[in-house]
Amino acid sequence: MIRAFLARASIVLACSAALLVPATPNLADDVTPSNVPSVRVLSYNVCGSYSVCQYTGQFGTWLNTVETQVTTWNADVLMLQELCIEQWSQLRSRLAARGYVGIFASTVSAAPGCPKWGSTDARFGMGTFVRAPAVDRFVANLTVPAGEEARAVLCARGPVGGRTTLICNTHVAAYMTPDNGMSQVLGYVDAWAAGLPIILGGDVNARPGSTALQVARAGVAGTGGFAEVDETDRDQFTDECKKAMVDECASGEKTTTTVKIDHILVTTRDFHTVKAVVSDPGLSDHRLLVGAAYPEAKTLSATPGDLIGDGRPDLVATPRRGHTAPLRRPGRRETFHLAANR
């Protein structure tokens, strides 16, 4: 009888304690292919040319590994840095069958390690793949000090998550003072986006909380602020963020063996519930950054004729069959289709 009473008392006390003590939050981001938000972006510095980090295995294995990452995560976007043209070309052929279109920008005309991939064309730079029938391509060379390696920003404008989106890929460096060139990048991105949602990723060669990332997260007047995809990963929060009990922190999992220098950001007015995880396919000295978010529901614009939500009227073409499509404002661009030649 006493034991029964004590058992009942223990249950009551345990339940009372559960009510009084707040539940411990799940600290891990816990991102998997099955639970990741609907817009999915991969960014990976693949070290295509440099001998100290270049993949030494077979090209076919390299292609299979990258393709597997794309399909495993059901990615909408793949951004690659330090990429040789032949890597891009062969991967484009692979991914075209899966509904992706690819664009490339060269920053080095003849990189010494690129012939490894089986072509005399040794151009080296960045490549982006978008799951879309076609995209508009934008590219700009960034200003760098004399004698330093050229840098660029490469953007694709096309449908992501059911909306026309500007997807930008860059690889900047510390010698681009004072912010690793991120203010330059944002200037081009703002002009090309013209109010569209933006996904910005790449190798920034800067840690979370650095000047470069502060500039990127702040954005500019036309873009609004950016969220970094791993800013809610409590496992990676700094001690300062943990003490402050904040929900967002300029932090994140390492994308190299020692530091995080690869980043994916999205415009806060266009995306929510950002998530991220890092994996290591073993092709480089960098790791693959997986970022995801949900698109914000868009309200109809109050501006007559505004089809893309930038507050300005758009021109519309009506083909004979009766479909409509926005005509983009004049600017520097090229349209690439799945069957297009590079």
Sites in the chain below the pLDDT cut of 70:
1-29, 299-303, 306-342
Q: What is the pLDDT of residue 299?
A: 65
Which of 182, 184, 153, 185 minimizes the C-alpha distance to 169? 153
Specify the pLDDT at position 329.
Answer: 47
In a domain, 122, yes or no: yes
Residues spanned by the domain of 51 = 39-297+316-337
Amino acid 238: pLDDT = 80
pLDDT of residue 231: 85
| Residue 17 located in a structural domain | no
Write the CATH number for 201.
Answer: 3.60.10.10
- What pLDDT score was predicted for residue 242? 85
What's the total number of domains in the chain?
A: 1
Instruction: Provide the pairing of β-strand 77-84 with 315-317.
Output: unpaired
In a domain, 218, yes or no: yes
pLDDT at 303: 67
Structural tokens at position 76: 């909408």
Strands (E), the chain: 39-45, 77-84, 100-108, 124-131, 134-142, 151-160, 163-171, 198-203, 226-228, 262-267, 271-279, 288-295, 315-317, 325-327, 334-337
Residue 279 domain-assigned? yes
Write out pLDDT tens, residues 217-245: 999 999 999 999 998 888 888 878 888 88
For the sheet containing 262-267, what is the strand order?
226-228, 262-267, 198-203, 163-171, 151-160, 134-142, 334-337
- The verdict on residue 8 lying in a domain is no
Query: Is residue 12 domain-resident?
Result: no
pTM exceeds 0.85, yes or no: no
Residues composing the chain: 342
Structural tokens at position 193: 């986006």
In a domain, 7, yes or no: no
Residue 231: inside a domain:
yes
- Measured distance CA(16)–CA(89) in Å, rounded: 64
The full DSSP string for 193-205 is: HTT--EEEEEE-S
At residue 236, the pLDDT reads: 81
- State the CB neighbour count (10 A cutoff) for residue 214: 14
